Amino acid sequence: MNRLLRVRRVLWGAAFVGLTSAASAAAPSAQRGNLATTVYGGAGDTKVPSNEVEDIYDERHFGLGVLASFPASQAGTEAPESRGFIWQLGLTAERRSLRVVLCGYDCQSHPPTSGFVSEGDLGVRAGAGADWSVFGFRAGLLFAGGIHARVAESLPFPDVALRLGTRELLFVTLGLGAYDASTSLRPGLYAGLSVAPTKGFVGSIHYGLHFNNGSTGRTVIDLGTRLDFALDYALSPKLSAGLGIALLPTGQAQSVTEGRATIGVGF
């Protein structure tokens, strides 16, 4: 329990640093606005660890996320090669349904049920970033929380990312926080590799340690891995589309599979 409290204090401190320090891999290459809308859903078995007996749930979730990017200055928007600072604001809403498969320790504090119990989860991201030819950064804060949730808890978290490499060929992303709508509710520490084999087409892979249940844990640290694959294509200078799939293992035999689709519109 003392270790868990120390982890939470560290996260609060990191959130403060992430919000107040200057540190976006996701910053657009041109100084214009963008609105990305993502629909995602997942299903599988998830484990909630405990220092007593773990809980296992059958999980279903469906979510909608919106991320808006606004240029800090309108200067130079006519030049596609220009770089500049941006503001970002994101909102994610998710309906999560859980059915008890194995009631160990934590689920005993909730009324017993035989079917699925649904809850609402919300996440908000806010920050700023900038982008240059071989370097980009983003810094901000996210806050996620469940409404009458069985597992998820109020979770403030830093939201920072660093990009190294050229967007036109290959680049690496290192981050703490979220990189899409789903991870706004399941933040963590991650690394990504993106390749652009042809103009307008980008393939990406992300791997990291995330709080996949939306909780840091009550008696032990609830941290799992996440493996994510995504393909994005620019349909026009102001319209893009993307598809992705993610694997969220939470135990030796428990895993949730998640899929998503994204539409981005420039303005």
**pLDDT tens digit string along 58-76?**
999 999 999 999 887 654 4
Give the three-class secondary structure for 249.
Answer: strand
Mean pLDDT by 10 residues, the chain (267 residues): 42 38 38 88 93 90 96 57 78 95 82 85 95 90 89 93 93 97 97 95 97 89 95 95 95 89 95
Domain of residue 126, residue span: 2-266
Contact by Cβ (8 Å): 65, 184: yes
Q: Extract the runs of DSSP E, i.e. beta strands, from 132-214.
A: 135-147, 155-158, 160-166, 170-177, 188-198, 201-210
pLDDT of residue 168: 87
pLDDT of residue 44: 96
Indicate the pTM of the whole model.
0.84
Residue with tokens 């042809």: 198
How many domains in the chain? 1
pLDDT of residue 267: 84
Contact by Cβ (8 Å): 85, 140: no
Chain centre to alpha carbon of residue 149 = 19
Give the three-class secondary structure for 50.
Answer: coil
pLDDT of residue 92: 98
Contact by Cβ (8 Å): 142, 184: yes
**pLDDT tens digit string along 116-139?**
999 999 999 999 998 888 999 999
Q: How far apart are CA 261 and CA 267, in angstroms?
A: 20
Q: How far apart are CA 20 and CA 37, in angstroms?
A: 27
- The amino acid occupying position 227 is L
pLDDT of residue 148: 80
Q: Of 143, 122, 132, nearest to 18 (Cα)?
A: 143
pLDDT of residue 83: 56
| CATH code for position 147 | 2.40.160.40
pLDDT of residue 60: 97
